[in-house]
A and B are shown apart, each in its own frame.
Chain A
Amino acid sequence: MQETYLVELKNITKRFPGVTANDKVNFNVRKGEIHVLLGENGSGKSTLMSILSGLYRPDEGEIIVRGIKMVFRSPRNAISAGIGMVHQHFKLIDSFSVAENVILGDDRTAPVLNIKDVENNLAQLSARYGLDINPSSMVWQLSVGEKQRVEIVKMLYRGSQVLILDEPTAVLTPQEADKLFRNLREMAGTGRGIVVITHKLNEVMEIADRVTVLRRGKAVATLERGQFNRTDLAWLMVGQDVVLQNKKKSPPGQRKVLELKGVGCLNDLGRNCLQDVSFTVHQGEIFGIAGVAGNGQRELAEVIAGLRRATEGSIIVNGTDITGFSPRRVIDHGVALVPEDRLGTGLIPNMGAVDNLVLKDYRRREMSRGPFLNRRKAYEKVKQLVNRFEIKLSSLDAPVKLMSGGNLQRLLLAREITSNPKLLIAVYPVRGLDIKATEAVHNLLLEQRERGMAILLISEDLEEIFKLSDRIGVLCGGRITGIIPSEMTDIEEIGLLMMGGTGEMVL
């Protein structure tokens, strides 16, 4: 007797030019379960769920919803079959209210709109699952976590029985992630099926009733809770053992590379977001900034890089006061930045690897012939970097937006590291990367540390901070609430400081 699933994917194959993204994948969702789809970046998770949500059509295979074979021609078809997806990038209109966003594109909306009814419905749905959404607030006023809940409530309002969330925690603080997981559990409790796409093992351990692991487009295992542990999953995902170990060898130097004295700045809305920030980073040292996202991390990096004006205090690099310098002069003083937003800032999505890799040193004499850019030199350099940093490229000129996240980050790091900076600022350098890519990036950072570079590492992942940093500064509400050598503290203490508690050992 075959079990009837809420939805079932059978032998799904999807090919893109040059790759088979999904290769005869089987996947199903039961009533009331949270099913995690686990895999490295590029393993085909998003493609598979895009097929399920009607965005792509499979080349082979079938979709069965509650026992009935279906063909989805658009996400609209999938939604009317009760399958809703919450994408990583929200599809909301900022200037509309929550309720207006929810009914946008909904076929069932009556020609004469009664927004009050909609708002009441939404308020009920929201209360039932603890989503805590005010249907009449404007979307631009919402935090990222709230926007995500709007997306969820939108799918519930449209009657989704199967809810797919693509990397839902990537944009959330740990607290928000916890809240989300509780919400999801509530929803599963009412008989819905929840699919969570992720590459984070701890999330699987925390919420999965079942897990399906994808590797290189194939489903390598589907396991029930109790049948899996971290090591097994990691092994299934990567296909090799992952070694977590400390590779720091030499102690940091004594020379101060970066020194912040009482720095403050405003955020995009013109409010104070950094206040009286002071710390020092030495040669050959990795200084980690821990903290919940949104506490001034991005602004801190931007102030040092000259992208944001400091309203008070001074920033000293190698003995020179660079406060108020233009971004270009800051670069010339040996400061490199790996920004949080790789494709939006760090790289130019529609340009090729060559154009991307010369972004910082196109002005340098060795890259020029008079006013001209020395293309031959640029190509030589790029080929060299591609080899050295093991960047996988289909061609040197293909737009980099076609590259995977890990490769993009390697490209970005390769450029910033080879500009031989005195100071490297890395903001969330492994966000969204899989285990292998993360490991590669960490090794690169440690290597630079050994070579005497000063590194300011900004991350929300405490494991990463502890693994790499020599000293840790905690940023909370725009202030440094503590600076502690990493071997003298533990995750609990840092966590307390992150939440705004005052550590005793403030240095």
Chain B
Amino acid sequence: MILPGYVIEKRLTPSSTAYVIIPILSIILALAAGAIFLELSGRNCFEIYSRMFSGAFGSRYGLSETVVKAIPLTLTGIGVALAFRMQLWNIGGEGQLYMGAFAATWVALTFPGGSGWWVLPTMVLLGMLAGGLWALIPAIPRAIWGVNEIITTLMLNYVAIFWVDYLVFGPWKDPNGFNFPMTAQFSPGAILPALGNSRIHAGLFFGLALTVIFYLIIYHTRWGYEIRVTGENPNSAHYAGMNSKRNIMLVMFFSGAICGLAGMSEVAGIAGRLQQGLSPGYGFTAIIIAWLSRLNPFAIVIVAFLFAGLQVGGYIVQTSGIPSSMVTMLQGLLLFFVLGGELLTNYTIKRMPANPSGDDMR
């Protein structure tokens, strides 16, 4: 009970309009709550919001940068969503991203003059392989002994991040980099082509292609059907003769491989080198994105784009005198309200009659 006279009741079948309207309302409410803080600190909230919006989506440059930021978010979002589809809680997207970046960098550093056509495809393949194998490590004990993958995937994040730290501080440090924790610059043959003079790189293509592939696999292939059945009801999967052990390992492998591709495209598309702090937590943000998207691949692209806009716009409004902590707070509010709105999608608030007699009821 939230207020006297009101009750929360579960919806039997959430209405399809609720799926659309409630998130939108949640965003409006979050902005309204943020506006209170902005106004209290003496700022014009409309101006701030419109700058945030136009900074992220309003200009050619802003838009292209939002896309750049959306690329790793989409890829990792798709990656973890694949595992979530089978109720495998892969919290290790971040580590798998780092391992993908690691393997791709290995290719670039091992063949420094390499400018052949094969360099980039090899980086893609090895990046995916490394991310996939990294995810396979927790998948095997999960498949065979049922070891909880939340803990193992989470912990392997740190192993991967520190492994990359070790490399960029140690053996892979740029000999001409004054001991700074980064590798040498890749040769042009190991850098993903970009769109025009923007920073939008071929990772965008990977993201969109994987979105479609994800959709086709999950909804239209027999393997995807097995994934959905296993995710919904593991007993049924066993009963129907599906090989869950194999599927757990395969799904985790591909989930990790996609996150690995995100890492590859960050080093080869943006930085052109591996360095400490490569990802500001894409693998973790991906979990929120996948969940808000209800594991729908097309929704993941949209949500990742909006999240990217939120971050890009957040830096823009700093120059209007908004401290970065205020921006972080706004982002937190948005998440809070959108996740809170989830409740209303599946539940409804009903008014109780004050007078219990039947006459004045609907």
Give the B-binding residues of A (Cβ under 8 A): 10-11, 16-17, 57, 59-63, 69-71, 73-74, 305-307, 326-332, 337, 339, 341, 344-351, 355, 358-360, 362-363, 367-368, 371-373, 375, 398, 402
Contacts and interface: CB of A to CB of B under 8 A. Distances in A.
19 contacts: A17-B13, A59-B361, A59-B362, A60-B361, A63-B356, A73-B1, A330-B241, A331-B240, A332-B241, A344-B235, A345-B236, A346-B236, A348-B229, A348-B232, A350-B232, A355-B229, A359-B229, A359-B236, A402-B12
Contacts of A307: 238-239
A347 B232 CA distance: 10
A73 B352 contact: yes
Interface in B225-273: 225, 228-229, 232-233, 235-236, 238-243
Given A330-B241, A344-B235, A62 B12 contact: no
Nearest to B240: A359
Contacts, number: 100
A69 B239 contact: no
B205 interface: no
A360 B228 CA distance: 14
Nearest to B5: A73
Given A17-B12, A60-B361, A62-B357, A326 B225 contact: no
B238 A327 contact: yes
Interface string B13-47: 10000000000000000000000000000000000
A326 B361 CA distance: 58
B359 to A, nearest CB: 9
A17 to B, nearest CB: 7
Interface of B: 1, 7, 9, 12-13, 216, 220-225, 228-229, 232-233, 235-236, 238-243, 350, 352-353, 356-358, 361-362
Contact of B356 (A17, A70, A74): A70
B358 A337 contact: no
A371 B221 contact: yes
Contacts of B239: 305, 307, 327, 337, 339, 345-346
Contacts of A337: 239
B12 A371 contact: no
A69 B356 CA distance: 7
A346 B229 CA distance: 11
A412 B127 CA distance: 45
A373 B232 contact: no
A69 B233 contact: no
A59 B357 CA distance: 11
B12 A373 contact: no
A31 B188 CA distance: 89
Contacts of A330: 241
Contact of B233 (A62, A305, A349): A349
A371 B222 contact: yes
B361 A351 contact: no
B222 A327 contact: no
Given A62-B358, A73-B7, A373-B220, 12 more contacts: A10-B358, A57-B352, A59-B361, A62-B356, A73-B1, A74-B7, A327-B240, A345-B233, A349-B233, A360-B240, A402-B12, A402-B13
Contacts of A362: 222, 225
B232 A351 contact: yes
Give the residue among A348, A358, A371 with the most B Cβ atoms within 10 A. Answer: A348
Contact of A344 (B222, B233, B353): B233
A484 B240 CA distance: 33
Given A307-B238, A373-B221, A71 B228 contact: no
B222 A351 contact: no
Contacts of A373: 220-222, 224-225
Q: Nearest 3 A-B pairs (CB), nearest first?
A: A328-B241, A71-B356, A327-B241
Contacts of B236: 345-348, 359
A345 B239 CA distance: 7
Contacts of A359: 229, 236, 240
A415 B258 CA distance: 36
Nearest to B217: A371
B243 A328 contact: yes
Contacts of A70: 356
Contacts of B224: 373
Contacts of A63: 356
Contacts of B238: 307, 327
A295 B221 CA distance: 41
Interface centre among B239, B361, B362 (most CB of A within 10 A): B239
Contacts of A367: 222
Contacts of B240: 327, 331, 359-360
Nearest to A76: B1
Contacts of B361: 59-60
A62 B357 CA distance: 6
B220 to A, nearest CB: 5
Contacts of B350: 57
Contacts of B216: 372
A61 B358 contact: yes
B221 to A, nearest CB: 5
Contacts of B229: 348, 351, 355, 359
In this complex, the member of A16, A59, A339, A362 whose beta carbon has the largest number of chain B beta carbons within 10 angstroms is A362
